[in-house]
Amino acid sequence: MSTFSSGTPPPLDVTYSTQLSYSSYNTQIVTVSSSGMVTAVAAGQTYIIVQENGSTATAALVTVRPQPPTGTPPVLTSVTPTGGIPGVTQVTVTGSGFGTTQGNGFVQLGTQNGTVSSWSDSQIVATVSGTARSAVASVNQNGLYSNTMPFTISTPVIQGISPLSWIPGMQVTITGSGFGAAAGSGGGVYFVGTGEYGTVVSWSDAQVVFTVPSGIGPGRVLVFQNGANSNSVPYTMTPPTLTSVSPTAWTPDAQVTLTGSGFGSPVGIGGVYFVGTGVYGTIVSWSDTQVVFTVPGGIGSGNVLVFQNGVDGNSLSYTIGP
């Protein structure tokens, strides 16, 4: 413990006292003199240990920042093309000071570094990263960044869809641009707000073919690739068509056969509904062209319809007999 009188000069210099001792936990990062003078040796973090007359030590964390890089930064003169599709587009960057070999250098295309296929002091060829977003193009060599140029990442664009009215299991073709050469792990077809995805049959940068799943109703569809969504376009579901009811006179618990088309197979989110009653038939069997159900009790004469994928078909009449 150091003691001195109040108001008596000179003041006590607590940075250096014969009663204090100083040491560095890692002398490869900093050294410290007996008077407490700290000298940086290399970048990193370590502790300075301070003790007074062998008492409990106090540790102070010291951070040494790396020296900024020196030298002449690379110069970027052109980027061709000035934008691209994630994971697809090959870009040529020209300029000077890139280094005869890549070494620890990299080229940024958008928000991510590109995958380099060739590197010279005046030209770099690289492919846009699959996860890149719009930002800038630049070159870094030996820790020095070049000037930047704008670089735009293309997102998928849907221009057309055929057909526009679907049934489960149908193949649908989406045309447009920016879909990428392959779906990969980042691409797909999504039905907005449903949590459902189409099963991809084929995929190219301008066309995607997929199979419609069961369990979706009318809505909107989009293509996504590497985290970027396209515009969404509307579609409808083809309603079931009911052509006959047999028999047309029913009794409770009787089995009735409905024939037609577009019922879907299997039942999915389909059913048989007695119009205006809030009552549904109990399904015995279901195919795309025929549904067999059991008549419930408590309904009167009226109309029956088949619904599937959120769409009601036409209705036909029936009667309830004794």
pLDDT at 115: 96
Inter-CA distances, 297 with 280, 285, 300, 303, Å: 10, 19, 9, 15
241-320: in CATH 2.40.50.1020: no
Q: What is the pLDDT of residue 17?
A: 59
The pLDDT of residue 18 is: 64
Query: Which H or E run contains 254?
Result: none
Check residue 4 and give its pLDDT: 40
Q: How far apart are the C-alpha atoms of 244 and 260, rounded to whole Å?
A: 7
Classified as helix, coil or strand, 146 is: coil
DSSP 8-class letter at 265:
S
Note whether 43 and 26 are within 8 A (CB).
Answer: no
In this prediction, residue 133 carries a pLDDT of 81
pLDDT along the chain (322 residues), means of 10: 45 57 88 86 87 76 85 95 85 97 95 96 94 90 94 90 90 92 83 92 94 88 86 92 95 95 81 94 93 94 91 94 74
Q: According to the model, what pLDDT value does residue 6 have?
A: 47
pLDDT of residue 174: 98
Q: Where in the chain is the domain with CATH 2.60.40.10?
A: 75-153, 157-237, 241-320
DSSP string, 216-273: --SEEEEEEETTEE---EEEEEPPPEEEEEESSEE-TT-EEEEEEE---SS-TT-EEE
pTM of the prediction? 0.56
Rounded CA-CA distance 126/80 in Å is 11
| Superfamily of chain region 157-237 | Immunoglobulins (2.60.40.10)
Fold held by 75-153 = Immunoglobulin-like (2.60.40)
